[in-house]
């Protein structure tokens, strides 16, 4: 009897009609072969072999440069199960519409069967996915982003427990592009895009959208969060998980360089994008990074903003949509003040100084193990215990530098109220504020009203819950200057959060939560005056009343799927604002 995997591969090959079929084993030799073939046919360009050994450039189609949320669907039986913030398509309609796009889509191409593991090998909660794709670029990326090949088949052990994901480049036309999730079947279909979260199905499609529905059913959490490790003088180690919308500095925060290293404060990385969290026997929440690599935004990355990322992406990295100089060294906005002469833009044309040389959503794909500050615990199958959650966005006004919620349920409200100015990570209106609860708006695989309820229920099960904070590194003064230096200095905010977790750390009580009392943040060696600090923490009641009204309107769309507790929290906040 053929296994479920063999049957599915067989069926898929009959539908997509590839010229060849390759089962990927994840080996070095296989990877070398694939990279070589992609260099030969122009899919990849080898970068400077001395300065960037093992690095390649890929240029995607110019209409395929970011996630396309309007072409991303949750195909649950009932529209109410996808909820008002997701696009919904009936499963039968989705199959009828998209099957023809897969029909013969791989003829003239090779079909790769890519077994992969989300989570460390051998760990009890790691999960197997199988991606079938006709893109060798996707295969190479999956090899970096996940544990790919034999290791995943070993974990599967001949069983039936895997999440199938079918991907084809199709004709790359946005007219015929669909990213479909079938939560009941734990199945993913993606056609028409070769880019990032649209095509590397282990990431947003599995580890967030499908995993969030599994987590709801099984009592755990799949969140869009970095995980970082903080060691204090004396050796105490704590872990923080933080959620920010795409392209708001998660990778920078995850790899933060401690400005207080001399004093014994060390920061290490567990993950930069996704956290899977479970309740431990000790009543704490334990987090695992299911990924094995970083798919980070390149522009703005430099030795000041993220020296650890700079070192991580020096070797064995696939760059997508960056510019390149005459000697084959990649370049992007923010790498140096002025572009080098003789630059070729991300579109492969001579860069004349107009527009951007690298696409604003250009990315690096790099192995996590290359990160100089990766924690020795990053592949621990038990995970790490989380002391605090941090929710942030990009807001020029209103939201203070940091605030602590009064308790878990109030924290869930704060996280659900999150808004952020949109970035280039998704196709849309860059700069416009949109509500992005828990930074999960594009990634929650079910009704977000139910998702809020899941958060409330999880809190009730935790005897030692993480404290919940919100932050905003991006607040500006009236002339548009950032008030807070950001980057490594964000550590000072994290240290105050840890003090709060230990029951110390002075606060001011405001209607929206606790903010640091004057003098409570360690600002040694930092040039931030008292007036600036006061402005950073200022709570503008009128502005917040407007924020409450916006939130009420946002919440209204969830109707009776919105937990009553959340409405009660919002009403209480409104009352505190007076």
Q: Which residues are marked as active site?
A: 248
The three-class DSSP label of residue 376 is coil
Cβ proximity to ligand SAT: between 295 and 332 the closer is 295
Smallest gap from Cβ 497 to ligand SAT, in A, equals 24
425 contact, one of ligand SAT, Mn ion, none, CB 5-8 Å limit per kind: ligand SAT
181 contact, one of Mn ion, ligand SAT, none, CB 5-8 Å limit per kind: none
Smallest gap from Cβ 190 to Mn ion, in A, equals 17
Cβ distance 120 to 154 under 8 Å?
A: no
At 367, phi and psi to the nearest 5?
Answer: -65, 135
* Interface with ligand SAT: number of residues (CB under 6 A): 8
Rounded to whole angstroms, how far apart are CA atoms 9 and 524? 60
- Please report, as residue ranges, which positions from 59 to 78 form the binding site for ligand SAT (by CB under 6 A): 67
Cβ proximity to ligand SAT: between 372 and 428 the closer is 428
Cβ proximity to ligand SAT: between 16 and 68 the closer is 68
Rounded to whole angstroms, how far apart are CA atoms 495 and 488? 12
Rounded to whole angstroms, how far apart are CA atoms 322 and 324? 7
Q: Is 198 in the site for Mn ion (CB under 5 A)?
A: no
Smallest gap from Cβ 363 to ligand SAT, in A, equals 7
Cβ proximity to ligand SAT: between 199 and 570 the closer is 199
Per DSSP bridges, beta strands 225-231 and 87-88 are unpaired
Rg from Cα positions in the chain: 23
Q: Is 252 in the site for Mn ion (CB under 5 A)?
A: no
408 contact, one of ligand SAT, Mn ion, none, CB 5-8 Å limit per kind: none
Cβ proximity to ligand SAT: between 133 and 409 the closer is 133
The three-class DSSP label of residue 402 is strand
Tell me which residue of 211, 93, 237, 238 sits closest to 454, measured CA to CA: 211
Long-range own/partner contacts, residues 500-509 (CB < 8 A, 24 or more apart): 500/388, 500/404, 500/467, 500/469, 501/238, 501/387, 501/388, 501/466, 501/467, 507/404, 508/537
CA distance to 88, 111, 179, per residue, from 187 (Å): 15, 18, 11
196 contact, one of Mn ion, ligand SAT, none, CB 5-8 Å limit per kind: ligand SAT
Q: Is 436 in the site for Mn ion (CB under 5 A)?
A: no
Strands (E), 252-337: 266-271, 275-279, 285-288, 293-297, 318-320, 323-324, 330-331
At 305, phi and psi to the nearest 5?
Answer: -75, -35
Tell me which residue of 205, 386, 186 sits closest to 278, measured CA to CA: 386
Binding mask 201-240 for Mn ion (x = CB under 5 A): ----------------------------------------
Tell me which residue of 401, 416, 413, 385 sits closest to 275, measured CA to CA: 385
Smallest gap from Cβ 57 to ligand SAT, in A, equals 17
Smallest gap from Cβ 297 to ligand SAT, in A, equals 8
Task: Calculate the CA 175 to chain-centre distance.
Answer: 26
Cβ distance 388 to 240 under 8 Å?
A: yes
Q: Is 246 in the site for Mn ion (CB under 5 A)?
A: yes
* Interface with Mn ion: number of residues (CB under 5 A): 2
DSSP string over 28-90: HHHHHHHHHHHHHTTS-EE--TTTSTT-EEE---TT-SSB-GGGEEE--SSHHHH-TTSEE--
Binding mask 25-64 for ligand SAT (x = CB under 6 A): ----------------------------------------
Q: Is 203 in the site for ligand SAT (CB under 6 A)?
A: yes
Smallest gap from Cβ 575 to Mn ion, in A, equals 35
Q: Is 196 in the site for ligand SAT (CB under 6 A)?
A: yes
Cβ proximity to ligand SAT: between 203 and 266 the closer is 203
- Please report, as residue ranges, which positions from 257 to 316 form the binding site for Mn ion (by CB under 5 A): 273
Region of 96-104, 195-203, 330-338, 477-485 interacting with ligand SAT (CB under 6 A): 195-203
Q: Is 246 in the site for ligand SAT (CB under 6 A)?
A: yes
Rounded to whole angstroms, how far apart are CA atoms 179 and 189? 6
Cβ proximity to ligand SAT: between 361 and 370 the closer is 361
Smallest gap from Cβ 441 to Mn ion, in A, equals 12
Q: Which residue is nearest to ligand SAT (CB)?
A: 197
Region of 22-30, 197-205, 329-337, 372-380 interacting with ligand SAT (CB under 6 A): 197-205
At 369, phi and psi to the nearest 5?
Answer: -65, -15
- Please report, as residue ranges, which positions from 380 to 439 form the binding site for ligand SAT (by CB under 6 A): 425
Smallest gap from Cβ 300 to Mn ion, in A, equals 15
- Please report, as residue ranges, which positions from 280 to 309 form the binding site for ligand SAT (by CB under 6 A): 295
Cβ proximity to ligand SAT: between 8 and 346 the closer is 346
Take residue 476 and report the two structure tokens written for it: 């500006």
Tell me which residue of 467, 469, 455, 456 sits closest to 392, measured CA to CA: 469
Given candidates 58, 143, 204, 209, which one binds ligand SAT under the rule CB under 6 A? Answer: 204
Smallest gap from Cβ 354 to ligand SAT, in A, equals 26
Region of 161-169, 196-204, 278-286, 346-354 interacting with ligand SAT (CB under 6 A): 196-204
Cβ proximity to ligand SAT: between 119 and 411 the closer is 119
Take residue 342 and report the two structure tokens written for it: 């003789």
67 contact, one of Mn ion, ligand SAT, none, CB 5-8 Å limit per kind: ligand SAT
DSSP 174: G
Rounded to whole angstroms, how far apart are CA atoms 427 and 446? 22
Smallest gap from Cβ 250 to Mn ion, in A, equals 7
Tell me which residue of 294, 329, 335, 364 sits closest to 46, measured CA to CA: 329
Region of 148-156, 243-251, 255-263, 474-482 interacting with Mn ion (CB under 5 A): 243-251
Tell me which residue of 377, 292, 273 sits closest to 26, measured CA to CA: 292
Cβ proximity to ligand SAT: between 56 and 295 the closer is 295
- By the criterion CB under 6 A, which residues form the site for ligand SAT? 67, 196-197, 203-204, 246, 295, 425
Name the site residues for Mn ion (rule: CB under 5 A).
246, 273
């Amino acid at each position: 009897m053929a296994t479920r995997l063999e049957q599915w591969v067989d069926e898929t090959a009959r539908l997509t009609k590839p010229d060849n079929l390759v089962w990927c084993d994840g080996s070095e030799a296989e990877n070398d072969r694939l990279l070589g073939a992609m260099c030969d046919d122009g899919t990849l360009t080898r970068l400077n072999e001395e300065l960037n050994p093992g690095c390649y450039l890929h240029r995607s189609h110019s209409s395929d440069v970011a996630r396309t949320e309007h072409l991303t669907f949750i195909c649950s039986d009932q529209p109410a199960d996808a909820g008002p913030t997701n696009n919904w398509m009936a499963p039968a309609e989705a199959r009828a519409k998209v099957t023809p796009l897969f029909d013969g889509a791989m003829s003239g191409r090779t079909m790769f069967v890519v077994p992969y593991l989300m989570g460390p090998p051998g760990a009890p909660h790691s999960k197997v996915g199988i991606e079938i794709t006709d893109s060798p670029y996707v295969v190479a990326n999956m090899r970096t982003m996940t544990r790919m090949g034999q290791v995943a088949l070993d974990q599967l052990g001949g069983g039936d427990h895997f999440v199938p994901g079918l991907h084809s480049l199709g004709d790359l036309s946005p007219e015929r592009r669909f990213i479909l999730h079938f939560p009941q079947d734990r199945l993913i279909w993606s056609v028409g895009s070769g880019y990032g979260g649209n095509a590397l199905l282990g990431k947003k499609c599995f580890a967030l959208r499908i995993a969030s529905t599994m987590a709801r059913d099984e009592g755990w959490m799949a969140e869009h969060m970095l995980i970082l490790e903080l060691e204090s003088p004396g050796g105490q180690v704590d872990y923080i998980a933080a959620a920010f919308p795409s392209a708001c500095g998660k990778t920078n925060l995850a790899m933060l360089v401690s400005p207080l290293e001399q004093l014994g404060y060390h920061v290490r990385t567990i993950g930069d994008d996704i956290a899977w969290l479970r309740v431990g026997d000790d009543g704490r929440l334990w987090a695992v990074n299911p990924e094995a690599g970083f798919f980070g935004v390149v522009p703005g990355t430099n030795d000041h903003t993220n020296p650890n990322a700079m070192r991580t992406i020096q070797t064995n990295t696939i760059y997508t949509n960056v510019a390149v100089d005459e000697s084959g060294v990649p370049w992007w906005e923010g790498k140096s003040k002025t572009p080098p002469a003789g630059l070729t833009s991300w579109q492969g044309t001579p860069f004349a100084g107009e527009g951007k040389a690298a696409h604003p959503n250009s990315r690096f794909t790099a192995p996590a193990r290359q990160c100089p500050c990766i924690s020795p615990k990053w592949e621990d199958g038990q995970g790490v215990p989380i002391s605090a959650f941090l929710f942030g966005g990009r807001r020029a006004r209103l939201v203070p530098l940091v605030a602590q919620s009064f308790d878990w349920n109030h924290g869930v409200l704060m996280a659900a109220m999150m808004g952020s100015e949109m970035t280039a990570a998704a196709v849309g209106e860059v700069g416009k504020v949109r509500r992005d609860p828990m930074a999960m708006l594009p990634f929650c695989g079910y009704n977000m009203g139910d998702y809020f309820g899941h958060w409330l229920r999880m809190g009730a099960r935790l005897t030692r819950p993480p404290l919940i904070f919100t932050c905003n590194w991006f607040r500006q003064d009236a002339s548009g200057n950032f008030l807070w230096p950001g980057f490594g200095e964000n550590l000072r905010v994290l240290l105050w959060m840890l003090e709060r977790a230990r029951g110390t750390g002075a606060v001011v009580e405001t209607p929206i939560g606790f903010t640091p009392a004057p003098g409570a943040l360690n600002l040694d060696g930092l040039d931030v005056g008292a007036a600036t600090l006061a402005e950073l923490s200022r709570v503008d009641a009128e502005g917040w009343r407007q924020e409450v009204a916006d939130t009420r309107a946002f919440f209204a769309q969830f109707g009776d799927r919105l937990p009553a507790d959340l409405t009660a929290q919002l009403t209480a906040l409104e009352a505190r604002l007076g």
